[in-house]
Amino acid sequence: MFKTLLLCTAVVAALAACGPSPDAPKIAPEARKDLEKAKGVESTVLQQDDAARKQIDDASK
């Protein structure tokens, strides 16, 4: 009887611990927004790099 009670208590405690946290922060939308912003900055930097390389190539001819 004691073993069954102990086992049931352990199973209930384990299942309760596996539930979602009620105060979980919403990080994903903010991170996604930052990622999109970084992709836009990367595109701008690559365009500026291409323009600078073209200008250097034109000047060296």
Domain residue limits, the chain: 28-61
3-state secondary structure 3-56: HHHHHHHHHHHHHHHCCCCCCCCCCHHHHHHHHHHHHHHHHHHHHHHHHHHHHH
Segment 14-34, tens digit of pLDDT: 766 666 666 656 678 888 889
Banded pLDDT at 42 (limits 50, 70, 90)? very high
Judged on CB neighbours under 10 Å (0-12, 13-18, 19+), 49 is: exposed
pLDDT value at position 24?
Answer: 56
Mean residue pLDDT of the chain comes to 82
Q: Flag whether the pTM goes above 0.85.
A: no
pLDDT value at position 54?
Answer: 94
CA 21 to CA 18: how far, in whole Å? 9
